[in-house]
Amino acid sequence: MTETCYSKGKKVILVTNQTKNGNWLCKFSIPGFSHPDGALHGQDPSKGYKTEWEARTNAFQRAKLLLDAPQDMTQGHLLEKT
């Protein structure tokens, strides 16, 4: 399932799926936001959630943290990766 949310005026796209063992995972992307790890941010598949709601909430919180990070920290992280 795909859902669109907004934080600080930025679009956050959440993509949820259910694993074979019944846990829920959610990836997010922020169009137009450059980040060193690529466009789609996931989570460790072994740390799934029991409900779709929990997975989406966690992904949205991670997206908000990324958007709240100071710009120089994001750029510094990018320099370390290259």
Range of the structural domain that residue 69 is part of: 2-81
| pTM passes above 0.75 | no
34-79 residue pLDDT tens: 654 444 566 666 678 999 999 999 999 989 988 887 655 544 444 4
pLDDT of residue 38: 42
| The pairing of beta strand 10-18 with beta strand 24-29 | antiparallel
Q: Region 26-32: what's the mean pLDDT?
A: 89
15-24 residue pLDDT tens: 999 999 899 9
pLDDT of residue 47: 74
Q: Domain count for the chain, please give it.
A: 1
DSSP letter string over the chain? -EEEEEETTEEEEEEEEE-TTS-EEEEEE-TT---TT-SEE---GGG-BSSHHHHHHHHHHHHHHHHHS-HHHHHHHHHHH-
Gap between the Cα atoms of 52 and 24, Å rounded? 5
